[in-house]
Amino acid sequence: MEEAEDRVKGLIIDEPHISNILNGVKDWEIRNRSFPYKIPKVIGLLTKKNHTYPHSILGYAEVITCHSMTPLQMLNYNHRHQASNFIQRNLNYMNAKILYAYELGDVWRLPTPDPYTYQRGQVVWVDI
């Protein structure tokens, strides 16, 4: 039987962030929770249903490490995460929180998107 830790997990990422990862513009994905799996781990890069794709796997990447820092510290790394506008707009709300940056490496795009199905309630991680 396959261990839960060994299954490939897919991370749902909104646009424009998923495109920025696949195009090499950013290599950090910001989250409000630490990476829940043993690192390094290959993950699927998933998009929600939109006008271009159904729920689809667009590529894969390896999570190399997970950085934790305050939102103010995170602002110094916009060249890695491309999310400073979001952080600045929500700074008062997020100031007391710790944010996590999943550092991605070995990103590769699938030649064609691969549709996936998921169970209701799975909003961040999906078994693929």
> Strand, helix or coil at 5?
helix
- The C-alpha atoms of residue 30 and residue 21 are separated, in whole angstroms, by 12
| C-alpha triplet 80, 82, 87: angle, nearest 5° | 110
Distance between CA atoms of residues 10 and 125, nearest Å: 6
Domains and their CATH numbers in the chain: 4-108 (2.30.130.30)
pTM of the model: 0.87
Please give the distance of CA 124 from its chain centroid, rounded to a whole number: 9
Q: What is the pLDDT of residues 31-81, one digit of tens each?
A: 989 999 999 999 999 997 766 667 899 999 999 999 999 988 999 999 999
Section 84-88 average pLDDT: 87
The DSSP element (H or E) to which 80 belongs, if any, is: helix 78-81
Rounded mean pLDDT of the chain?
88
